[in-house]
Structure 1
Amino acid sequence: MHSGRLVISVAGETEPVPPASPPDSPGDNPAGNSASVRTRRIREFARDVLGYSEFRPGQEKAMQAVVGGRDTLAVLPSGAGKTAVYQVAGQLLDGPVVVVSPLIALQRDQVERLAEIEDRAGRAAQLNSTMSAGDQREALDSLRDGTVRFLFLAPEQLAKPEVVDAVAEAKPALFVVDEAHCVSAWGHDFRPDYLRLGGVVEQLGHPTVLALTATAAPPVRAEIVERLEMREPEIVVAGFDRPEIRLEVDHHADARGKELGVLERVLAEVSAGRGPGIVYSATRRGTEDIATQLADRGLRVRPYHAGLGRSDREDAQRAWMDDELDVVVATTAFGMGIDKPGTRFVVHAEPADSIDSYYQEIGRAGRDGEPALAVLVYRQEDLGIRRFFAAGTPGEEELQQVAGLVQAAAAAGIDEGVDVKDLREETGRAATPLARDLNLLEQVEAVVLDEEGAAHPAKDGPGPAEAAAAARELAEHHEKVDQSRVEMMRGYAETTECRRQFLLGYFGEQLDEPCGNCDTCSAGTAQHVPGPDDHDTPFPVEMPVEHSEWGAGVVMRVEDDRVTVLFDDVGYKTLGVAAVLEHDLLRARG
């Protein structure tokens, strides 16, 4: 764990943009040490250029920290204006802003939005693999000469020394990592290419770092701080609650009943005028089957999954955004970058792989602040597919073989590295497990993956045997954590307590009273949950504890007879309070 001090601020309600205070003196530097000047300039730009009449929770606090030169992790809900943080801060810092964004579509969207206010905000540009070499050089040259103020690029670009050198020469004042949960192995969208970003920050002279995400449970926040090598960061958590989204779970005993339940739910919402909506399915085949059945019942619907051709996916997304569809039926491939404020419902045909993913996916509903619905159509047996995906640890022998092949290629003078195709030819194994092995070996700093996905031995990295042992240990840890998150998804589906209290408790946020906007509240089974100041429970929320077998953890949620603890080494565990007390399984940790 990184040793830097964590200052966690939890923002409250949406606040009006106050009138700007008068300047301290005509010559004040807006990014200088005067907090009042920073505040005035932040509010002026937000009001006059972005048109903000009010700040959303966490926005101004994050802006203040960044403009004050503080590394900042901002956990702001979907639709809460995360991009405005760096748009505003970028005006008040002496130097360009580099924004790492995982998808080209997201980059393009942000460049287009900034183009609308270019005369006040400064020019924005992209740098990605779809551009010609000449256009890429022009983007970097414009960053260096100050023509471009915001440069958006994928993390893969920062694997190129010439790109890092060019960015360093521009002396960026702010390094933004969007979708920062991708840097965390705990995160639901983990991307190994994010792992290099901490080193890049240091190569750039450690400009102020701003990490942005909508979904980050406590272990994800901790790993973001560590991986990005953030220095004494301020962590602004704006609150995970989306009270406008009603939470429901429909239970079914058999597969056919569940299948009909999904169709009936969607048809009911659309026929009542409560559309459009998204249906998530765990498999590509599931998306196709559900889309076909909904189309047969008269709905305008398209499937969306990674097995479709690029043009088909793009056309489905365009039709969805242009209000030509009642429903899109998708796998999680329909994810980051999907922002349609009027989405009225999200139906899950199977449980998500974790509460993290579920929260992210249902958060695509109701972004306009109007009432929306999230329904999980649940059959307990469906958790089996999630357990299957979460299981599977590679053997040390195969990891050692992959590490050895990478080192052997380098020793033979193969400068272009070893990619998955090469490894398939050498080992006869499938591409997916080989890619997993390379990702694990990169995480233990045995190999480095370049922009094309080819592997090179890491400088001063461990040998194949040592690397394999470390990668195997890491994989076992990931499996335990992933399995624990599947179990938390089961807990959400099967609880009779307030579902919103359960959901928020997973992220370490306490909701003292039942929400009144979920099916368990409507059924009258939800009850008060003991909080940090509630002395009726021996293990209140947020208490640090120690387990004799599982080690250190933190209490995340308390029910009448159960306690859920997030352990550092094994993830989430739910324990019976009576058994815990009888066998002295948990002790308070000072």
Structure 2
Amino acid sequence: MTGTVRDPQEILSGVFGYSDFRGEQEAIIRHVVAGGDAVVLMPTGGGKSLCYQIPAIAREGTGIVLSPLVALMHDQVMALRLAGVSAAALNSSLAPEERRAVEAAYLDGELDVLYLAPEQLSAPGTVEFLKRGKIALFAIDEAHCVSQWGHDFRPDYLRLGALATEWPDVPRIALTATATPETHREITERLHLGEARHFVSSFDRANIRYQIVPKQNARAQLLSFVKGEHAGEAGIVYALSRKRVEQTAAALRDAGVDAVAYHAGLPADVRLNAQTRFLREDGVVVVATIAFGMGIDKPDVRFVAHIDLPKSVEGYYQETGRAGRDGAPSEAWLAYGLADVVQQRQFIDSGDGDQATRANQTRHLDHMLALCESVTCRRRYLLNYFGELDAPENCGNCDVCIDPPKLWDATIPSQMLLSTVIRTQNERGRTYAAGQHIDVLRGVGSERVTQMRLDELSTWNIGAEWSVAQWRGVVRHLVAVGLLEARGEWGVLWPSEAAKPVLRGEEQVLMREEVMSRASASGGGSRLGGTKRSAAAADLTPEQAEVFERLRLWRAAEAKEQGVPGYVVFGDATLAALAAHQPTSDEALLAINGIGQVKLERYGEAVLRVLAGE
């Protein structure tokens, strides 16, 4: 669209249907509209998209959005079009005639927003093509992908620094929801944004409740969590292997949960069907590898569960951030155990990376383990990790704060275990995995034990009072805090330098009392107790809830007819507001957040009929 600069406030209300900006949105938008560069760090669900969409509409020319995934492009283009914005995408999914139509629309100045993949920009002829049109701004989404030492590095992002040279007078805005201070610096340097203004919002997602449980039977624990606390609600379950994804999805289906599997090894049509069902239907749970999720804009995901340990805090934060984008209460649930630690160490040791890469991967994993073993507020740890050092000590919305763990002095069993590991090395010249050391401590005989003369060690049978599960908890904790290392293919245990002060009695080892509790740990679906947190519509009266359900049925039919996800029509928060206020006129509809002029014209009459019970 060409012409004079439009007012951002008018676009916010007239196009997107919101009366007020959130946080620093207005400052960011007005800075970019005026031609300034910006680096924006804002949590998922904080409204990043509007920070470049509104300037793209307001400024003369077309806003070029560089986004890493086709799924994100498609959904955002459809949402913009339904709001009356001229938007399109150029990507590999387009047929030749569709591509020609998009290119012609761009050259004719008819597009407000054009989405491109970063690799598309480096394709032959793309720069020359873009220079033939008028560009309003460049938006670099998921900008953390430029960090070579980050968790989601993509080489194509390194080429985006050239935008500053090719288009020196076009404002650029780089945005991400996951950036440590180091990644923030890399974004600034590699994208040549040294003169940019930086907007750093709090990474806190206060509506997400964090919970990490000891892994006993991950599948049974997951079923208990999903069916007990999130029955009929949309969620994402992450697993590391494709086989585990398919088995878990099947187990959920067998238990009556509407679940689909998603991983890169499935046929394209199966993946598309799984993603489409998750986005467009209510209450679908997708079980996936980390190949799923970036760019998924579904606002009503009520939980994200991990049945395997994430590789980094950044990855964990980004994945859990896909829950509760609508601001309603949601949960991040993780089950983790010793096998997870050993498996991740093996992945690193057997990887193709050089020594520096393995060291970086180990550093990321160590931070993730520290989060899992933390006896202080989970949210505080996450915020500190991302550079927010003034976070409160108690968030009131994580398992540690809701049900504070009791600490137990585990120095003596830690010394027993460390001594056993050292004695097998010194006296038998061998190293063993956790199981053999636990057998020694518990005095469990076997042919292998006799052959290796492990029953002659001085630590034989000194820990018989504790179960295998309890000892594995001690092993897990010592590996997590760096007193033991799990090396090689078999995860053999090896004491670190940090273990020496513990063995000498100079340092104490504190761990959660639950590790050595004799109470059954077969559950683990949830340890938080209390009533289930309400979602977007749960605070409505019974009469209002009936109206909400009528609106949901209407939305589902409308979305199916248009071939778009339901939230692209209206989000749950908008439906809940409609049910609560039950407007009876066009003017009253415009006062509801999420209803702009175009959506009023498109849906207003139908919504008023639903509200009237017709």
**What TM-score, normalized by structure 1, do the two folds share?**
0.65
User: Structure 1 residue 355: deviation in Å?
Assistant: 0.8
Partner of 2:222: 262
Partner of 1:545: none
Residue 374 of structure 1 aligns with an amino acid whose one-letter code is A
Picking from 350, 356, 360, the partner of 1:477 is 356
User: Structure 1 residue 208: deviation in Å?
Assistant: 0.9
Picking from 254, 257, 272, the partner of 1:314 is 272
Q: Is contact 2:260-2:274 (8 Å) kept? A: yes
Q: Do the aligned partners of residues 308 and 127 (structure 1) sit closer, same or farther apart at CA in structure 2, a change above 3 Å counting?
A: same
Partner of 2:548: none
Please give the alpha-carbon distance, in whole angstroms, between the structure 2 residues aligned to 1:519 and 1:370. Answer: 18
Please give the alpha-carbon distance, in whole angstroms, between the structure 2 residues aligned to 1:387 and 1:68. Answer: 49
Q: Do the aligned partners of residues 117 and 260 (structure 1) sit closer, same or farther apart at CA in structure 2, a change above 3 Å counting?
A: closer
Picking from 378, 381, 396, the partner of 2:339 is 381
Please give the alpha-carbon distance, in whole angstroms, between the structure 2 residues aligned to 1:154 and 1:68. Answer: 26
Please give the alpha-carbon distance, in whole angstroms, between the structure 1 residues aligned to 2:351 and 2:280. Answer: 43
Partner of 1:166: 129
Please give the alpha-carbon distance, in whole angstroms, between the structure 2 residues aligned to 1:131 and 1:193. Answer: 21
Q: Deviations over 1:491-513 (max 9, x none)?
A: 11100101110111111113133
Q: Is contact 1:282-1:331 (8 Å) kept? A: yes
Partner of 1:423: none
Q: How does 1:38-187 map to 2 (within 5 A)?
A: 41-118=7-84, 121=85, 123-187=86-150
Q: Deviations over 1:371-419 (max 9, x none)?
A: 111111110320233333344565xxxxxxxxxxxxxxxxxxxxxxxxx
| Secondary structure of 2:58's aligned partner | coil
User: Structure 1 residue 148: deviation in Å?
Assistant: 2.2
Q: Deviations over 1:165-219 (max 9, x none)?
A: 1112324231111111122223322211121111244223352111111111212
Q: Do the aligned partners of residues 391 and 133 (structure 1) sit closer, same or farther apart at CA in structure 2, a change above 3 Å counting?
A: farther
Residue 95 of structure 1 aligns with an amino acid whose one-letter code is G
**Where does structure 1 differ by over 6 angstroms across 4 or more consecutive aligned residues?**
none
Q: Which has the higher strand share?
A: 1
Please give the alpha-carbon distance, in whole angstroms, between the structure 1 residues aligned to 2:214 and 2:191. Answer: 42
Q: Do the aligned partners of residues 74 and 526 (structure 1) sit closer, same or farther apart at CA in structure 2, a change above 3 Å counting?
A: farther
Please give the alpha-carbon distance, in whole angstroms, between the structure 1 residues aligned to 2:280 and 2:403. Answer: 38
Q: Is contact 1:319-1:325 (8 Å) kept? A: no
Structure having the higher Rg = 2
Q: Do the aligned partners of residues 199 and 343 (structure 1) sit closer, same or farther apart at CA in structure 2, a change above 3 Å counting?
A: same
Partner of 2:290: 332
Q: Is contact 1:46-1:52 (8 Å) kept? A: yes
| Secondary structure of 2:148's aligned partner | coil
Residue 264 of structure 1 aligns with an amino acid whose one-letter code is S
Q: Is contact 1:164-1:200 (8 Å) kept? A: no
| Secondary structure of 2:125's aligned partner | helix
Structure 1 unaligned segments of length 5 or more: list them: 1-28, 32-37, 395-471, 528-562, 565-574, 583-590
Relative contact order, higher structure (CA 8 A, sep 6+): 2
Residue 102 of structure 2 aligns with an amino acid whose one-letter code is A
Residue 403 of structure 2 aligns with an amino acid whose one-letter code is A
Partner of 1:461: none
Please give the alpha-carbon distance, in whole angstroms, between the structure 1 residues aligned to 2:147 and 2:236. Answer: 27
Please give the alpha-carbon distance, in whole angstroms, between the structure 2 residues aligned to 1:508 and 1:45. Answer: 33
Q: Is contact 2:41-2:178 (8 Å) kept? A: yes
Q: Do the aligned partners of residues 392 and 64 (structure 1) sit closer, same or farther apart at CA in structure 2, a change above 3 Å counting?
A: farther
Identity %: 41
Residue 203 of structure 2 aligns with an amino acid whose one-letter code is F
| Secondary structure of 1:230's aligned partner | coil
2:167 counterpart of 1:204: yes
Partner of 1:570: none
User: Structure 1 residue 363: deviation in Å?
Assistant: 1.2
Q: Do the aligned partners of residues 522 and 53 (structure 1) sit closer, same or farther apart at CA in structure 2, a change above 3 Å counting?
A: same
Q: Do the aligned partners of residues 166 and 344 (structure 1) sit closer, same or farther apart at CA in structure 2, a change above 3 Å counting?
A: same
Q: Is contact 1:392-1:479 (8 Å) kept? A: no
Q: Do the aligned partners of residues 42 and 297 (structure 1) sit closer, same or farther apart at CA in structure 2, a change above 3 Å counting?
A: same
Please give the alpha-carbon distance, in whole angstroms, between the structure 2 residues aligned to 1:81 and 1:522. Answer: 29
| Secondary structure of 1:503's aligned partner | helix
Q: Do the aligned partners of residues 479 and 56 (structure 1) sit closer, same or farther apart at CA in structure 2, a change above 3 Å counting?
A: farther
Please give the alpha-carbon distance, in whole angstroms, between the structure 2 residues aligned to 1:202 and 1:138. Answer: 29
Q: How many residues in Structure 1 have an aligned counterpart in Structure 2?
A: 413
Please give the alpha-carbon distance, in whole angstroms, between the structure 2 residues aligned to 1:135 and 1:65. Answer: 34
Q: Is contact 2:40-2:200 (8 Å) kept? A: yes
Q: How does 1:243-282 map to 2 (within 5 A)?
A: 243-252=206-215, 257-271=217-231, 275-282=233-240
Q: Which has the higher helix share?
A: 2
Partner of 1:489: 368
Q: Do the aligned partners of residues 241 and 30 (structure 1) sit closer, same or farther apart at CA in structure 2, a change above 3 Å counting?
A: farther
Please give the alpha-carbon distance, in whole angstroms, between the structure 2 residues aligned to 1:391 and 1:223. Answer: 26
Q: Is contact 1:99-1:153 (8 Å) kept? A: yes
Partner of 2:400: 520
2:153 counterpart of 1:190: yes
Q: Do the aligned partners of residues 93 and 391 (structure 1) sit closer, same or farther apart at CA in structure 2, a change above 3 Å counting?
A: farther
Please give the alpha-carbon distance, in whole angstroms, between the structure 2 residues aligned to 1:390 and 1:236. Answer: 35
Partner of 1:505: 384
Q: Deviations over 1:430-455 (max 9, x none)?
A: xxxxxxxxxxxxxxxxxxxxxxxxxx
Q: Do the aligned partners of residues 505 and 101 (structure 1) sit closer, same or farther apart at CA in structure 2, a change above 3 Å counting?
A: same
Q: RMSD of the alignment, in Å?
A: 2.9
Residue 281 of structure 2 aligns with an amino acid whose one-letter code is D
Residue 104 of structure 1 aligns with an amino acid whose one-letter code is V
Q: Is contact 2:45-2:324 (8 Å) kept? A: no
Please give the alpha-carbon distance, in whole angstroms, between the structure 1 residues aligned to 2:136 and 2:75. Answer: 22
Q: Is contact 1:58-1:76 (8 Å) kept? A: no
**What TM-score, normalized by structure 2, do the two folds share?**
0.63
Q: Deviations over 1:63-93 (max 9, x none)?
A: 1221232211111221222111112112332
Q: Is contact 2:238-2:308 (8 Å) kept? A: yes
- Residue range with higher mean Cα deviation, 45-54 or 480-489: 45-54
